[in-house]
Amino acid sequence: MVWLSSELMFFAGLFAMYFTIRSVAHPLWTDRTSHLNVPYAAANTAVLVISSVWCQLGVFKAEAGIPSRTGKLLQLGSWGMREWYVLTYIFGAIFVSGQVMEYSNLFAEGISLNSDSYGSMFYLTTGFHGLHVTGGLIAFLLIIGRTFTSRKYTHHQATGAIVTSYYWHFVDVVWIALFATIYLLQ
């Protein structure tokens, strides 16, 4: 929790930079935000938010001591923490891929990290968030891998899964704030 608090302060600093630079370069923001594809970003946001639902379903299974499915693959009710976390991982990877695609489109329109203050703040805020999502994806791989290597699923493994979910939910909430700030407030 202390580490998540430090992450919160890090993102608070990014938001402070974003709003400060936006206040002194407002005409630039008016011009540059017209290049944003808000429906695309909203769909990408939905992917990340849905991944948080899958993550929480995995947490419920971890708390119940069910590391992997107890039935057939297509029986969602028999899924364990591993299957829900794999689905969370897939949705998180789709989100990061969507961000890369958006970066590519904006770069083609002349908005880059060094093009102007808008580009700098857009790529810094969303880029650092993307790095955090990638870190979460790595954590999911480690947690999923532990389910294959441990003979008995203990409270210790469940705690790792729960802590990873805290981080994932935190990353989701930060993205919702970034999405509202960058795409909706324009």
- What is the residue range of 27's domain? 2-184
For the stretch 130-148, pLDDT in tens is: 999 999 999 999 999 988 8
List, for residues 113-124, the tens digit of each pLDDT value.
998 999 999 999
Question: In this predicted structure, what is the pLDDT of residue 156?
Answer: 79
The CATH number of whichever domain residue 34 belongs to comes to 1.20.120.80
Which pLDDT score, from 0 to 100, does residue 76 have? 82
In single-letter form, the type of residue at position 137 comes to L
* Number of domains into which the chain is organized: 1
Question: Between 101 and 8, whose confidence is greater?
Answer: 101
Taking 90 as the threshold, does the pLDDT of residue 169 lie above it? yes
pLDDT attached to residue 90: 97
This prediction's pTM: 0.91
Tell me which residue of 123, 125, 132, 116 sits closest to 100, measured CA to CA: 123
Q: Give the count of beta carbons closer than 10 Å to the beta carbon of residue 86.
A: 16
Banded pLDDT at 89 (limits 50, 70, 90): very high
Q: Name every residue whose Cβ is closer than 8 Å to that of residue 182 and which is 6 or more positions away in sequence.
A: 18, 36, 122, 125, 126
